[in-house]
Structure 1
Amino acid sequence: MHKELPWLADNAQLELKYKKGKTPLSHRNWPEEPVPVITESLIQTLGDEILQREGSKENISWQYEQCSAEWHEDIIRAISLIGEHKPSVSARTMAVLTCIANNNSAQLLDEIVQQEGLEYATGVVIARQFIARRYESDPQVVTLQHQDEGYGYGYRSETYNEFDLRLRKHLSLAEESCWQRCADKLIAALPVIPIVRRPFIALLLPEKPEIANELVGLECPRTHFHSKEWLKVVATDPRAVRILEHYWSQDIFSDREASYMSHENHFGYAACAALLREQGLAAIPRLAIYAHKEDCGSLLVQINHPLVIRTLLLVADKNKPSLQRVAKYSKNFPHATLAALAELLALKAPPARPGYPILEDKKLPAQQKTRDEYWRMSLQTLIAIQPQLAEEVRPWLSAEAQTVLDSYVSVPPKAVIDSSDNSKLPAILVSPPWRKGKKKASASYFSLPEITLAPQAYWSPHERWTQKQQTAINHFSAIPFNERLACRGMDTFLRELGFELPRWKFYEFIITGQLDALNIQQLQAYTAIGQLNYYQAQQAEYRHYREDAASALLAEDSTALIQGWRTFQRKFNYSDEKRWSAWNLYLIAQMPREMAVSCWQQIVEADFYYTGVEYLLSVLGTDALPGLNIAYARHPKEIFPLLMNYGATELALPVARVWRRFAAQRNLARQWILQWPEHTATALIPLIFAKSGDNREAALSALLLLYKEGHGELLQTVANRWEIPALWPALEQLLTQNPLDNYPTRIAKAPDFWQPALWRRPRLISNDQPLTDNALEIIGEMLSFTQGGHFYCGLEQLKTFCQPQTLAAFVWDLFTAWQQAGAPAKDNWAFLALSIFGDESTVRDLMPLILAWPQEGKSARAVSGLNILTQIGNDMAPMQLHHISQRAKSRPLRDSAMEYLQTVADNRGLSQEELEDRLVPTLGLDNPQALIFDFGPRQFSVRFDENLNPVIYDQQNVRQKSVPRLRADDDPLKAPEALTQLKGLKKDATQVSKNLLPRLETALRTTRRWSLADFHSLFVNHPFTRLVAQRLIWGIYPANEPRLLLNAFRVAAEGEFCNVQDEPIILPPDALIGIAHPLEMSAEMRSEFAQLFADYEIMPPVRQLTRRTVLLTPDEATSSNLNRWEGKSATVGQLMGMRYKGWEPGYEDAFFYKLGEYRLVLKFSPGFHHYNADSKALMSFSSLRVYRDNKSVTFAEIDAFDLSEALSTPDVIFH
């Protein structure tokens, strides 16, 4: 029986829906709507704008010497017509007029066609391909130039404007004879049109694809021939299309506005739609390189064919919208999707991902593995949802694809425990309250008027300003406003306020108080007036604006001052009033209060750049609130931390929304609510009894926080202010309801990616049985209740009843499915689920994703990942946060990780150094069985070498070269789990040792000391760091003299502390403990410890007894310049390695080493650029000097131990 093809035939005409206001480029087969009649004359006004601006043509410098002589007559004629009535002129003269006027509108061409005819308009468009107006920064200069192949076509070499391309529309509507004459004229002009413009002629004549096919072979030796990419829109010859694959940089099928990175393109979507309409499925291969872009992807996702989804699958990992398009396509066209997936998985060598960015060879295996897993999961999900698809698609699959399909269809369904056996399940999974059939009791309704509560502002007298902020505050608050205005002068004051200097120079010189350090030449180079040296008219205008701004300052007229700023920016900075400069709020804070408040509000209303907002708010207090509300509405993420200092009822709801919905700033929201409970209650109680919705849920969440934190009496006091007796009982009932009843009124349908039957199931602790399908659905519903990091309380029951590692595996599979579905924001709960059920394996797997996301344009997700690491809260999470803060390529990500770490440190009352001591996880080694891994018939154990690297041994005590592989005779349940745990331990231990050993090296170098209690908790009793502590020699130091070694000892395997005679000793309770430096020990002690370590076969993890030490001679000690390495050389690579030993790169020929108030300066020659250096290049030692307060001193002033540590590194590389 013949079956109907479940997708479009290969030769089908595509029927597409287009974006609102968008249509394909016209074609004679699809001419679309006729052109409307133009009633307003644009021709007669061409060039008039220039006269209005400059007064007369004599004030303008007309430059057209670069044009050939044959054009001069037309240019002179066009100039003479500016401001005059324009009669019928030649097509070339009309082309010049349009260029002078910079009028590229479609309406102008419509009027030309309407008045002069299509053939004339064709001549105008042809003439425009030879001439262009060059951009000039001086508005009094108009430069016309002939097209130069080497110069390209200015901003128009790779894209086209509305005027020229509008001709295609008129040609599609023309009668056949007229079209033929116009086409002949265009084709006849081709040989003389500049090469880079010839693709445009092919674009105008889609009915003649042979033009494009022929132009593909053209080359332009003097310029990049990027415009050839446009031939893809009309070329039909397969050979030509293959050649065009190498041209993609102009992204011709995407609409965009101009930027400093690219030219504008207003016809990308229309060109892509036209190509698909004209060539159908034959066009799909050439669109592969553009398929991840919005315009192209939005068209492809409508086409039901395996070739299309194959293309979308190949680019799915490029960005989030691409993944979402695949998910949408899979839902709409499952047959085509299943066919494409089966064919892809059947390939021996999967196709490469098309287009930019090109993956490095070393990253290809990992990328292909990830992509292969994604395809397999997608196929498995499709078959699970619609099992009938396999048979419906099979007839159209290749034999290899059918084999792949059979391997999935034949897999038996996973066994599930009897859903009727609920005795071992937690109550929430048996009878969840939202499934009981009872409607939630509706809350009482009260129409409560607003109650006024005066706003408050609080700034701690010990407000911690950064060094840069304090410098700016000291500089601009040193003298009063009027006095500063008088003594600094108006020009300088305006510069300090933010006029003239570009933002980057403003921050460099103004905010740092370095304006006076600029000389006249620098001021001329940096300021706006200095950049107008050649434009006398604009200099006069500038002085006029400056005088207006000065008058506004003297009159304390903030409105005039802001208007003066706006006019100045528009006039002198490319008509962009926000782009150039920034307001100095440090200085505005010194203005009279009313003027400062008004300026602040107008600045945020206009959304200008500014700096110093924290200080201004501290000065203005509650008067700044109206402006602060506007600033928060425009930039909530940046402004939200500033709300902490203000208690105001209008802030309560925005903060409550953050508390409920946004995990990243949830802690700040909590802080505000608890800091301003009265304002919170006053604003939010009326919302509790209003209409259901997000505002009510946010208000209830905030008030519940207040109630749980002991503010019940205050809530009652505030509620009683409405003088409604029933109000407080109703509110109290809401606040004391069963937490299990706090679920949404409407429960959303599960997303398409929710397929828990395909994932690793949570298992019960009591009987090791997996959860039922129904239980998994309930878990999904509970997880979907999540808002901003607030989890439904029923999820906590799962932690009691389910094995934690299985819960972690389940939510990781959920997270993976969410990612593969394009990470839809509305289902972000699938990501947040990691923070409640994640474990060490979650942290381990999440960290590389967090590091990679910023490079993929997913910086916000990376920051959310940091928050999830913080919320997981196990030993591994802080360590990985520290790793990210040190090693991430993304600077913002490193900074965010440092902020999270600082928050953790502040919450624990620790310094950064003390926190790092506590970042070492136990790795589960406090369990004696943690180092034994049971594979069933085989067992393996792990020990650690001197570098803390895990070493694996079998039952016969034979060291294994690598992690063992699974064998057929291994236990099918125990072995996979043991292997996973073994791999995890190996990976985690390696990561921990990479962080721990350098810190111990630094502790030895910097003579770090610990209290006895910290020594016990951090080293002796810690199951992992104990392994290190037993391989080091420790010193005992008096608390009042931490550099004086009283005694040395080691930590024995039994936990005893043994001295150099290997005799047990008792550590003094008030002593400090540190890693003993060899210079602190006598030669005899060092020798005896060395023998003791040799006897016990102890290998220290860092160089201690064998440490290189450097002691100066008496002559060297009394000198300020050390020259013992004179005549020696070191490579650049060796010098750069000094960074890990405390040395910091300075100038091109120097490194620095800080020792408290002293600084060592190592000089070498000839020097090198740190960002571009040959690591093997030799640098000769020049000098090593010591300074204190920038004055030269002798080496004798520095502690001998510290000096030895500093000099040991150059002693190694220059030795």
Structure 2
Amino acid sequence: MGRRRGPVVVEGLVCADVTVMAWADGERERWWARADALEHGLEQDDWAKAVSSADKLSDLEPEQVPWLFAKGPDSPARALLSTTAFLRHRQRVDLGRVAVARFELDARAYALGEAAESADELGLLVLPFRGPEAAALVAGWLRHLGSARLWARLWLGRHPEAAARALIPAAAGKPGRARQNAEAALRFLSAAGHGPLLIKTACGYGEQAQELVEALLDTEPELPAGRNRMAAGQLPEIRAAHGGVLPEDHVTRLLTALTRSSLDEAPEPAPGDPDRPVPLVVASSAAAQPLVREADPALAELLTSADRSSLAAFGRAMLDDWVTAGMPPAESWVLLAQAHLGDDTTMDALAPLVRSWPAKSRHARAVDGFAVLATAGSDVALRHLLAIEENMSGGPTNDRATVYLTRAAAVRGLSVTQLADRLAITHGLDTGVVVDYGTRSFRVRPDEHLVAHVVNADGRVLARPPKPGVKDTAPQAYQQFLQFKKDLRASAVEQAGRLERDMLRRRLRPARDIPGVLLPHPVLGPLARRLLWGEFDGRRLVRALRIAEDGSLADLHDDTAAVGPDTPLGIVHPADLRGDLGAWARLFADYEILSPFPQLGRPVVTLTDAELSATSLPGFGPLDGHRLVKLMSNGWHGNGYHIGSRVHTRLRRRLAGGLVLLAEFSPGMPTSQYPPDTEHRVTEIWVDAEWSENWQPVRRTPLGEVDPAVLSEALVVLYGTTD
């Protein structure tokens, strides 16, 4: 057999185009108008002199940068474009648009650098630049999952001829990432109807280039087969579906087909509008994630011919071999193939691996593992995915787990919360659990706090069964009961924690799920009955409701409340109740209802109507540096220091809905001296948009725009440091 030919390379092709500006109608004016949105706080009279005489522009104060680009002196502003000392402003979208509108080609390096560093958020900055550098940059974005791919498609659709001239030399070059990116971009242009333009442009590079482009557009991209060590004889035998063992040539064909296992085409990103005040941006980690591609007809036929249990064992052996070999990327198809081969035993084996990979910097493999679990979609697989998502510490990898969970739940017509409710383990209590000694048995009955007891033959409830005697033939049942009791208690704690997070994150359920899912569940039911629920309109509490003894819903006056089956219900936070908190607390005390986690007795900060309408709250104090450091380890972060002084002047905490809570304090605290002995005082507390630099002198956001539960939790932590 002859050697496989490599890709054709045409040497010496170069695109000599010069980058030019190619604005859409009115686009430059719209971008320049964003100068009014750049916040730089209280402008100082000496700023113009300071920037004109500065030895190093990198020493500018943070608030001087947006001022300089928006309306500062021309020469220092242009000089700043060539530095790398930008502070990665949260106003980067507006800052970039204003710089490009004002300085055009002089801002090219700055704009392309910003776009390359944060493609999802800042990829829109390349749109008016027409030239080879922009083409090479956006070609690499077509494989992204978030808004970067959207900006790439917009740029290619806007500059197809320039893209063709710039990318054909790369597509004819040596194998590598640049060639792959260029080929993908050219295929996109062809699919968008620009095939004749591509052929015409390729003619300008010569006959070889024309033939190469014609062949490229006439074929599907090859999937790399990788370095295949998986010889059929080194893996377990596969039983045939109707008896016997699959022959070796059949297994070899199966292995070859499995090497084509891959993720499906990425779902389209959400539509973005570069001219919005704050462009609609979807981060790659939060974008819709692709599942594993369905088996092609050849693979599907091979899978059908095999016994499923034997096939799953074969797949696990492949997975073990791949992991032992160090998980070579060229054979990552082995992981994705588990979506075709695996059963619940496979998912039990795969989940611990997936959970461990992020800590080993195997983030891409972990995301592939999420895809396998979500594609498998069985109860066992999704329970593992739920546990992984719930126990991760945050970040892009965790975001992808959440997106995969959302997609898997949607396949069942559910939200992630509803999915978690339905997959909560019952420990067999829904069908009955018995401690069976062989000669006698005891029925297990948990109490309302999910502590397991047993009922003997005469109906008496015992804390635990009597120890087995000499006549009992299954004495091990006693230890099994003790373990069951521990497992049930652990599940109760786990599910109570999940319900508490549902309260804090404002996760809602349709009212029909209370009697239909929660109350019949042997673990969730007792927990749900001990909580105060509420009917919500968005994040606003309409009315609070408790679950009465007969399973109906009752209001504060103990009257039965009629609720529609689709009405959103959620777990009430005490900040939602305002003046009714005391009455509900007394009612729960009268009925001796003890919540499974702090709810009505939870520390709470409830603002008055006047405070909710206000855009800031007064400060408090004193508090020392140790207390500030404690805040910074409890969800707050230092924010607002000045480059020259390196002094923190405020604390910042992220809230839901794209908002942040800020607390200004004085005197500032040096970032290099934690913690100083100086006493400090919080001078003001206010809310701002997360993307803002928070320097504006005027407060614009009423505190009432923040979810009351989220705001209360943040303020409890802030105020709690004064005790």
Partners of 2:404 and 2:168 lie apart in 1 by 27
Deviations 1:688-735 (CA, angstroms, capped at 9, x unpaired): xxxxxx97x99xxxxxxxxxxxxxxxxxxxxxxxxxxxxxxxxxxxxx
RMSD over aligned CA atoms reads 6.7
Partners of 1:984 and 1:775 lie apart in 2 by 45
**Structure 2 CA distance for partners of 1:890 and 1:1066, relative to 1, 3 Å:** closer
Partners of 2:562 and 2:181 lie apart in 1 by 55
Alignment of 1:643-1042 (within 5 A): 647=191, 683=218, 751=231, 754-756=234-236, 782=254, 785-786=257-258, 787-789=260-262, 791=295, 792-794=299-301, 797=304, 811-823=315-327, 830-838=334-342, 842-843=346-347, 845-854=349-358, 856=360, 858-875=362-379, 877=381, 893-894=397-398, 896-897=400-401, 900=404, 914-915=415-416, 918-919=419-420, 922-925=423-426, 928=429, 932=433, 995-1003=498-506, 1010-1013=509-512, 1019-1020=518-519, 1025-1036=524-535
Q: Structure 1 residue 1032: deviation in Å? A: 0.8
Match of 2:547 among 1034, 1050, 1059: 1050
**Structure 2 CA distance for partners of 1:1049 and 1:1024, relative to 1, 3 Å:** same
Match of 1:1146 among 607, 616, 639: 639
Match of 2:600 among 1105, 1108, 1112: 1105
Partners of 1:523 and 1:645 lie apart in 2 by 35
Task: Tell me the equivalent position of 1:1213.
Answer: 721
Task: Tell me the equivalent position of 2:28.
Answer: 478
Letter in 1 for 2:639: G
**Structure 2 CA distance for partners of 1:921 and 1:900, relative to 1, 3 Å:** same
**Structure 2 CA distance for partners of 1:887 and 1:1197, relative to 1, 3 Å:** closer
Q: Structure 1 residue 1171: deviation in Å? A: 11
Partners of 1:889 and 1:639 lie apart in 2 by 38
Q: Structure 1 residue 783: deviation in Å? A: 5.5
Partners of 1:1153 and 1:782 lie apart in 2 by 50
Partners of 1:762 and 1:1214 lie apart in 2 by 69
**Structure 2 CA distance for partners of 1:863 and 1:1077, relative to 1, 3 Å:** closer
Task: Tell me the equivalent position of 1:1086.
Answer: 585
Match of 1:1131 among 603, 624, 627: 627
Contact 2:529 2:546 in 1 (8 A): no
Contact 2:688 2:701 in 1 (8 A): no
Q: Structure 1 residue 1087: deviation in Å? A: 0.7
Partners of 1:871 and 1:1167 lie apart in 2 by 52
**Structure 2 CA distance for partners of 1:1181 and 1:620, relative to 1, 3 Å:** same
**Structure 2 CA distance for partners of 1:518 and 1:898, relative to 1, 3 Å:** farther
Q: Structure 1 residue 619: deviation in Å? A: 0.9
**Structure 2 CA distance for partners of 1:1156 and 1:1022, relative to 1, 3 Å:** same
Contact 1:875 1:922 in 2 (8 A): yes
Partners of 2:358 and 2:707 lie apart in 1 by 46
Contact 1:1090 1:1105 in 2 (8 A): no
Q: Structure 1 residue 1135: deviation in Å? A: 1.4
Task: Tell me the equivalent position of 2:99.
Answer: none
Structure 2: which 5+ runs fail to align? 1-21, 32-59, 86-102, 110-115, 142-147, 172-176, 196-213, 263-293, 465-472, 641-647, 690-695
**Structure 2 CA distance for partners of 1:832 and 1:941, relative to 1, 3 Å:** farther
Letter in 2 for 1:527: S
Q: Structure 1 residue 798: deviation in Å? A: 8.4
SS at 1:815 equivalent: helix
Letter in 1 for 2:586: S
SS at 1:1108 equivalent: coil
Partners of 1:642 and 1:900 lie apart in 2 by 30
How many residues are aligned here? 543
Match of 2:572 among 1076, 1094, 1099: 1076
Task: Tell me the equivalent position of 1:1162.
Answer: 663
Partners of 2:556 and 2:140 lie apart in 1 by 74
Letter in 2 for 1:1049: R
**Structure 2 CA distance for partners of 1:1154 and 1:1179, relative to 1, 3 Å:** farther
Relative contact order: is structure 1 or structure 2 higher (C-alpha 8 Å, sep ≥ 6)? 2
Partners of 2:421 and 2:190 lie apart in 1 by 39
Deviations 1:1023-1053 (CA, angstroms, capped at 9, x unpaired): 764454222111245x5x974644522265x
Task: Tell me the equivalent position of 2:686.
Answer: 1186
Partners of 2:568 and 2:669 lie apart in 1 by 43
**Structure 2 CA distance for partners of 1:978 and 1:866, relative to 1, 3 Å:** farther
Contact 1:869 1:877 in 2 (8 A): yes
The structure where helix makes up a greater share of residues is 1
Contact 1:836 1:871 in 2 (8 A): no
Contact 1:885 1:897 in 2 (8 A): yes
Partners of 2:325 and 2:429 lie apart in 1 by 42
Partners of 1:980 and 1:630 lie apart in 2 by 67
User: Normalized against structure 2, the TM-score is what?
Assistant: 0.54
Match of 1:634 among 178, 185, 191: 178
Deviations 1:891-943 (CA, angstroms, capped at 9, x unpaired): 66446546645765887899xxx545545561453965678498986999796
Letter in 2 for 1:785: A
**Structure 2 CA distance for partners of 1:824 and 1:521, relative to 1, 3 Å:** closer
**Structure 2 CA distance for partners of 1:1179 and 1:941, relative to 1, 3 Å:** farther
**Structure 2 CA distance for partners of 1:525 and 1:1110, relative to 1, 3 Å:** closer
Partners of 2:229 and 2:455 lie apart in 1 by 52
SS at 1:1109 equivalent: coil
Contact 1:922 1:1023 in 2 (8 A): no
SS at 1:756 equivalent: coil
Letter in 2 for 1:1012: A
Contact 2:339 2:372 in 1 (8 A): yes
Partners of 1:902 and 1:849 lie apart in 2 by 22
SS at 1:1049 equivalent: strand
Task: Tell me the equivalent position of 1:527.
Answer: 82
Letter in 1 for 2:82: T
Partners of 1:1200 and 1:895 lie apart in 2 by 22
Deviations 1:862-909 (CA, angstroms, capped at 9, x unpaired): 332232122222346557657666866796644654664576588789
The structure where strand makes up a greater share of residues is 2
Deviations 1:637-662 (CA, angstroms, capped at 9, x unpaired): 798599667516999xxxxxxxxxxx
Alignment of 1:413-424 (within 5 A): none
SS at 1:1110 equivalent: coil
SS at 2:621 equivalent: coil
Contact 1:875 1:921 in 2 (8 A): no
Q: Structure 1 residue 1012: deviation in Å? A: 2.9
Deviations 1:167-191 (CA, angstroms, capped at 9, x unpaired): xxxxxxxxxxxxxxxxxxxxxxxxx
Partners of 2:344 and 2:525 lie apart in 1 by 21
Partners of 1:1010 and 1:1204 lie apart in 2 by 22
Match of 2:563 among 1039, 1058, 1067: 1067
SS at 2:534 equivalent: strand
Partners of 2:715 and 2:402 lie apart in 1 by 31
Contact 1:841 1:984 in 2 (8 A): no
Structure 1: which 5+ runs fail to align? 1-471, 482-504, 531-549, 555-561, 566-577, 652-678, 688-693, 699-743, 961-968
Contact 2:454 2:462 in 1 (8 A): yes
